[in-house]
């Protein structure tokens, strides 16, 4: 059974750095063809892809946010961490992590429940 | 900046058929964009329906199908059920830049 779960602060102040952790089970990021991505959704708005880390530690970022994002993995802990610097109220959103499968070209076959992050002073 | 466009809203009658589309600002959508489709209901995480244009996940109801139509990715619902009322998102892969882009979503009303 594949599961993913996001964790991190629910409230951050403007200019602070956000650190979110995705803890998953049912698969390993050391397996070829697997990855974990981050997606966010502001209240009442559309989904936005943020970043993706592959089994071989290759990383891809949304061009519009690339300068603020860092994605890393800890294979031994089955965790992926996303950091976003210089947070702003417009970054208020539900943040999701999701599984990627190379052989299916599928991003989002499994999702976490999401975690709502509010940016406010 | 790459933009993926979907119909903002559509309405369909129960038992009817509806097609949602997904267009790219860069030109025609092909299989190389590996279109993925998701369903999202209020307060829930998105649920995957279709990957790589037309492939269904094991949990995808048979009434959902994916295709390419007129240079766009398409999601067709045949025999729509009341529980299909939801927001639907497409996701495209841009291999040159190696990035993924979601569409703006289509709010499907079953009425």
> pLDDT digits over B17-45, tens only?
999 999 999 999 999 999 999 999 999 99
Residue among A35, A45, A106 with most chain B CBs within 10 A, to mutate: A106
Beta-strand pair A3-7/A18-25: antiparallel
Task: Confirm if B44 and B61 have CB atoms less than 8 A apart.
Answer: no
> pLDDT digits over A55-71, tens only?
999 999 999 999 999 99
CA-wise closest residue to B37 among B84, B83, B1, B2: B84
Q: Does B94 touch chain A (CB under 8 A)?
A: no
Q: What value, to the nearest 5°, has the Cα angle with vertex A90 and ends A57 and A24?
A: 35
- CB < 8 Å to A47, chain B: 38, 40, 46, 89, 91, 102, 105
Beta-strand pair B72-78/A106-111: unpaired
Q: Does B57 touch chain A (CB under 8 A)?
A: yes
CB count, 10 Å around CB of B90? 31
> Which residue among A60, A96, A111 sits closest to B99, beta carbon to beta carbon?
A60
pLDDT score of A111: 98
Residue range A14-19: average pLDDT?
98
Residue A105 has pLDDT above 90, yes or no: no
CB count, 10 Å around CB of A94? 18
């Amino acid at each position: 059974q594949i599961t993913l779960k996001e964790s991190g602060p629910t409230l951050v102040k403007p200019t602070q750095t956000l650190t979110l952790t995705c803890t998953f089970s049912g698969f390993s990021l050391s397996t070829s063809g697997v990855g974990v991505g981050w997606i966010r959704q502001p209240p009442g708005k559309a989904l936005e892809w943020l970043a993706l880390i592959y089994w071989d530690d290759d990383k891809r970022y949304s061009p519009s946010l690339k300068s603020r994002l860092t994605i890393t993995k800890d294979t031994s802990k089955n965790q992926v961490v996303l950091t976003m610097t210089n947070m702003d109220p417009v970054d208020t959103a539900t943040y999701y992590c999701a599984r990627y499968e190379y052989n299916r070209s599928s991003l989002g076959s499994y999702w976490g429940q999401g975690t709502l992050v509010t940016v406010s002073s | 900046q790459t933009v993926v466009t979907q119909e903002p809203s559509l309405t369909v009658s129960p038992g009817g058929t509806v097609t949602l589309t997904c267009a790219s600002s860069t030109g025609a959508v092909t299989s190389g964009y590996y279109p993925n489709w998701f369903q999202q209901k209020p307060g829930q995480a998105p649920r995957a329906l279709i990957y790589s244009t037309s492939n269904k996940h094991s949990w995808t109801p048979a009434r959902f199908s994916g295709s390419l139509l007129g240079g766009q990715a398409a999601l067709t619902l045949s025999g729509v059920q009341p529980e299909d009322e939801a927001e639907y998102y497409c996701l495209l892969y841009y291999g040159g830049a190696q990035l993924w882009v979601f569409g703006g979503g289509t709010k499907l009303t079953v009425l």
